[in-house]
Amino acid sequence: MRFLTRFFLLAFCLFSLFTIHYSLFIAPAFSQGEFETDYDVLYTVGQDGKTNVTQKIVLKNKTSNYYAEKFELKIGSTKVEDVKATDNIGPLETNVKFDQNTTSIEVKFNQKVIGIGKTLPWELTYTSSELATKSGQIWEISIPRLAKAADIGAYKANISVPSSFGPVAFTIPQPKTTNKALNRQEFSFDKEQLIQTGIAMSFGQKQVFSFKLNYFLQNNNLTNQFSQIALPPDNNYQKIVIEKIEPNPVNIDVDKDGNLLAKYKLAPHSDLDVEVSGFVEVFSKPFRKINAELSQEEKELYTQPQKYWDTANAQIKETASTLKTPEQIYDFVTTTLSYSKERLSQPKIERLGAAGALQFPKDAVCMEFTDLFIALARASHIPAREVEGFAYTQNERLRPLSLTLPEGDILHAWPEYWDDELGWVQVDPTWGSTSGGLDYFSKLDFNHITFVQRGVSSTSPYPAGSYKREEDSQKKGVFVSFAQDLPTLTATPQLLLLSPQKIISAFPVKVQAKVSNVGSTSLIGQKISLSTGKLKNLSSGDTEIPILPPFSTREFEFNLQANALFLNTEDTLILSYADSQISKPIRILPIYQIFFFKSFSLSILIAIIICATSYFIYKKIKKSKVKLPAY
């Protein structure tokens, strides 16, 4: 048999960290499909995270005229070591190149596969230090999805990790089988799962960071001014512990987006340095639902256009009309935009906004991925907003940070959308795109720390790292590191009740109440109430405080009244909040007792004196008038 041509078979790499390529080099008259390839891939992860990859490959010839001479494997953005290939004859010649973030492995076969149905079994092995990484207390395994190709036959993938990695925090997708043996955990996946999402696994129970944030405030005015700084907030993904704020703020307010805004009073022509330190515990999925629900008014607020989220733009509206779910929007953004490393070299990265992202899809950084997701979601009537904060990454090729603040600190931006069951759900389309299709929609990870949440405005409040002196513009103001455990949590409400000792029946009286959080962590979704035995509370019922941050105080006013006119008894006011209570006795007097109150008698006396004086002056003025004779 005479062969008309020789060709190269460029096969795919299933488990790369960036992109997966599969193509067949043949004469122009031919197309892919002349060969079918079956794969049995084993990933054995070591205690140090270094992964040995073994691909058992069976190449099957589906033609009578062609044979495969070479095999080329391309692994995007992944450097590999110890590359070896063998068949039943012996070692195969390999050639490894790394160029422009792509590793190419070329394998030259020892034998030709000639004839329909003939097969060539062979094995490729290599090691990688980028498939499994440890971040703090969490081990992560990231394997992008498999590219669809007609040449792929059977496919089986197995992952083996040490039991010392800890329990599985999450795995996407769910493995077909799991097994524990000889201090190892083993998981298997099939072809359909890998085509859908790839594999994302995390091992461990929690991730804890410590942080120190520096802020600078200045008042150049001639009068006292109030200024505020944004602290890391509590939300569905993180629990904040604030150990120190120095100096203490006047108060800490919570805005509509749930941001914690520490308020300071600055004297004229003065400045102030503020240092905040604490801890944050991060979760990969919502572990609570701080906002029980969004009202219809709030849902409308989070679907309104804002600067950079131009939902009225014709292209945004047209694109959104074809995207009905957050997942469809996420998939569109991750596949449409391309991350631009060149923009990172610019002195100042201009924010293009959603419309600009569609206009320049190859020049996107995290801001464009975020803005486009939010604008498309809002245009599809899905409430959405922006998150800015710190994201820990060990590999900025795969998980880049690109929110470069004018003051030097580098943060990250990602969006979140509202789900009626889960609340605010965070996703990261930037990392979903740059990591080769890893799933950052179904879960996030343990490495995203929220500094601010922006929905009411697309530009404020400013995150930590944005408050600096001009001469300190290149100094870091954000310091985050891994920690082992959260310190002992204290959520300690301090209650104060201000009321008169005596009240008169039938007369309404106002009672002032204060609740302060003198602990280190926020009190979430607790109610404050004032109860009595015989007095009627004219105010509305219990009042829920969605978030009471540390170092904050809230004030309330209650209106009480005894309906009976001649009630003569004692009562007790009980102020309750969370698990704390304080009580205060109060005396209820019959209405006629008002005449015996010194203040009442004094008021009556003053009123009589005023009336008598007014009458005397009136009479005197009247007598002084002279009636003139008429002519």
**With 80 as the cut, is the pLDDT of residue 612 above it?**
no
389 with 451: CB under 8 angstroms?
A: yes
Whole-number Å distance between alpha carbons of 303 and 321 = 15
Average pLDDT over residues 45-67: 91
pLDDT range class, residue 28, cuts 50, 70, 90? very low
Whole-number Å distance between alpha carbons of 626 and 631 = 16
pLDDT range class, residue 192, cuts 50, 70, 90? confident
Q: Where do we find the tokens 């102030």?
A: 272
Looking at residue 291, its pLDDT comes to 85
**With 70 as the cut, is the pLDDT of residue 2 above it?**
no
The string of pLDDT tens digits covering residues 172-185 is 889 999 999 889 99
505 with 482: CB under 8 angstroms?
A: no
Q: Which 3-state string (H, E, C) describes 82-104? A: EEEEEECCCECEEEEEEECCEEE
The string of pLDDT tens digits covering residues 258-307 is 999 999 999 999 999 999 999 999 998 899 999 889 999 999 999 999 99
Beta pairing class for 51-61 and 199-203: unpaired
The string of pLDDT tens digits covering residues 359-382 is 999 999 999 999 999 999 999 999
CA distances from 266 to 216, 228, 231 (A): 12, 10, 18
Tokens of 508: 């309404």
pLDDT range class, residue 101, cuts 50, 70, 90? low
Between 437 and 554, the higher pLDDT residue: 554
Looking at residue 228, its pLDDT comes to 97
249 with 551: CB under 8 angstroms?
A: yes
Average pLDDT of the chain is: 87
**With 50 as the cut, is the pLDDT of residue 25 above it?**
no
Looking at residue 221, its pLDDT comes to 95
Between 268 and 608, the higher pLDDT residue: 268
pLDDT winner (highest mean) among 12-16, 48-52, 541-545, 563-567: 48-52
Cα dihedral 43/49/50/56 (nearest 10): 0
Looking at residue 173, its pLDDT comes to 87
Looking at residue 402, its pLDDT comes to 82
Tokens of 611: 């009336």
**With 90 as the cut, is the pLDDT of residue 590 above it?**
no
CA distances from 613 to 394, 600, 601, 602, 609 (A): 86, 20, 18, 16, 6
The string of pLDDT tens digits covering residues 310-337 is 999 999 999 999 999 999 999 999 999 9
Closest CA to 476 of 425, 417, 408, 428: 408
Tokens of 408: 């030097």
Three-state DSSP at 112 gives: coil
586 with 573: CB under 8 angstroms?
A: yes
DSSP 37-69: EEEEEEEEE-TTS-EEEEEEEEEEE--SS--EE
Looking at residue 539, its pLDDT comes to 81
Looking at residue 475, its pLDDT comes to 86
378 with 305: CB under 8 angstroms?
A: yes
**With 90 as the cut, is the pLDDT of residue 186 above it?**
yes
Please, which residues have CB within 8 angstroms of residue 225's CB and are 6 or more apart in sequence? 219, 265, 266
Whole-number Å distance between alpha carbons of 594 and 502 = 11
Whole-number Å distance between alpha carbons of 266 and 392 = 34
Whole-number Å distance between alpha carbons of 12 and 39 = 11
556 with 513: CB under 8 angstroms?
A: yes
Average pLDDT over residues 590-595: 71
